[in-house]
């Protein structure tokens, strides 16, 4: 199969059901959307895209959305990018009461909003910056690498490490707090199901647990294990195929 090959898996769709299509790039934020759709138990179709050797997305994704990134969904005439927007859209359109959090729920509502926006707004950019710092030295001419590598390593210590320590602690302390009050999900309160916050936070927590363990606390690891044990999460993994961010026992 060509590097940019696109393949389609269609889950059984009753004719009256909405035709949601997920444009899914391997090993990407799009896994959030597959998990959500499995939890919501609504039919959808996956169009799969392989990353190029550069790890960038193939140009076919530009035909779907002007930024050429994943996830993107189409739902009838609607095309929507940005994982947080997609999560909120799907929950509003297809979620039931258990998937939603209302303003009357006070702190639970505020937690839900905060942890829905925090991963893309704060932590993911730090993790991407860290990845770039680790990759750039390998891209400069070999002769310069002995000079460039320590510079980026020092920059990592100076810029990324303190940020990741603070963020890892914030996540860990929050999970301890909600667990102490009897909830196993990010929004806390009386919630017994994942909410938008969990669909967004799972990527960050699993990256911390697998790729940045030094910043990841025990409660965060337990959270990832709990989510990975959910049937809907397992079904999403089966449908996506190989996924690099899996916390092994």
Ligand X SMILES: N[C@@H](CCC(=O)N[C@@H](CS)C(=O)NCC(=O)O)C(=O)O
- Which residues make up the interface to ligand X (CB under 6 A)? 25, 28-29, 56-57, 69-71, 82-83, 120
Q: Using the minimum distance from each CB to ligand X, give the nearer residue, 132 or 147.
A: 132
Q: Using the minimum distance from each CB to ligand X, give the nearer residue, 47 or 108.
A: 47
Q: Using the minimum distance from each CB to ligand X, give the nearer residue, 106 or 125.
A: 125
Taking the complex as a whole, the smallest distance from the CB of residue 56 to ligand X amounts, in Å, to 4
C-alpha closest to that of 48 among 72, 83, 79: 72
Taking the complex as a whole, the smallest distance from the CB of residue 71 to ligand X amounts, in Å, to 6
**Encoded tokens for 197:** 């916050």
Taking the complex as a whole, the smallest distance from the CB of residue 15 to ligand X amounts, in Å, to 30
Taking the complex as a whole, the smallest distance from the CB of residue 86 to ligand X amounts, in Å, to 7
Taking the complex as a whole, the smallest distance from the CB of residue 206 to ligand X amounts, in Å, to 13
**Per-residue H/E/C for the chain:** CCCCCEEEEECCCCCCCCCEEEEEECCCCHHHHHHHHHHHCCCEEEEEECCCCCCCCCHHHHHCCCCCCCCEEEECCEEEECHHHHHHHHHHHHCCHHHCCCHHHCHHHHHHHHHHHHHHHHHHHHHHHHHHHHHHHHHCCHHHHHHHHHHHHHHHHHHHHHHHHHHHHHHHHHHHHHHHCCCCCCCCCCCCCCCHHHHHHHHHHHHHHHHCHHHCCHHHHHHHHHHHCCHHHHHHHHHHCCCCCCCCC
Q: Using the minimum distance from each CB to ligand X, give the nearer residue, 25 or 164.
A: 25
**Encoded tokens for 43:** 């039919």
Residue number with the smallest Cβ distance to ligand X: 69
Taking the complex as a whole, the smallest distance from the CB of residue 4 to ligand X amounts, in Å, to 12
Q: Using the minimum distance from each CB to ligand X, give the nearer residue, 87 or 216.
A: 87
**Encoded tokens for 126:** 């730090």
Q: Using the minimum distance from each CB to ligand X, give the nearer residue, 144 or 246.
A: 246
Distance CA(220)–CA(173), nearest Å, equals 9
Q: Using the minimum distance from each CB to ligand X, give the nearer residue, 22 or 216.
A: 22
Taking the complex as a whole, the smallest distance from the CB of residue 247 to ligand X amounts, in Å, to 18
């Amino acid at each position: 199969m060509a590097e940019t090959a696109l393949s389609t898996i269609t889950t059984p769709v009753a004719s009256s059901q909405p035709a949601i299509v997920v444009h899914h790039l391997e090993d990407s934020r799009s896994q959030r959307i597959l998990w959500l759709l499995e939890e919501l138990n609504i039919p959808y179709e996956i169009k799969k895209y392989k990353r190029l050797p550069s790890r960038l997305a193939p140009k076919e994704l530009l035909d779907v959305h002007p930024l050429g990134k994943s996830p993107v969904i189409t739902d009838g005439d609607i095309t929507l990018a940005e994982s947080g927007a997609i999560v909120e859209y799907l929950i509003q359109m297809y979620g039931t009461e258990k998937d939603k959090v209302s303003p009357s729920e006070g702190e639970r509502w505020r937690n839900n909003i905060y942890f829905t926006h925090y991963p893309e707004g704060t932590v993911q950019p730090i993790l991407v910056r860290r990845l770039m710092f680790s990759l750039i030295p390998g891209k400069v001419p070999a002769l310069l690498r002995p000079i460039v590598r320590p510079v980026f390593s020092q920059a990592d210590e100076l810029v990324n490490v303190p940020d990741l320590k603070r963020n890892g602690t914030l996540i860990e302390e929050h999970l301890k707090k909600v667990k102490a009050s009897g909830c196993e999900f990010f929004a806390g309160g009386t919630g017994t199901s994942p909410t938008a916050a969990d669909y967004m936070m799972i990527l960050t927590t699993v990256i911390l647990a697998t790729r940045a363990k030094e910043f990841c606390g025990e409660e965060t690891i337990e959270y990832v294990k709990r989510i990975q044990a959910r049937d809907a999460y397992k079904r999403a993994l089966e449908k996506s195929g190989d996924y690099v961010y899996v916390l092994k026992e």
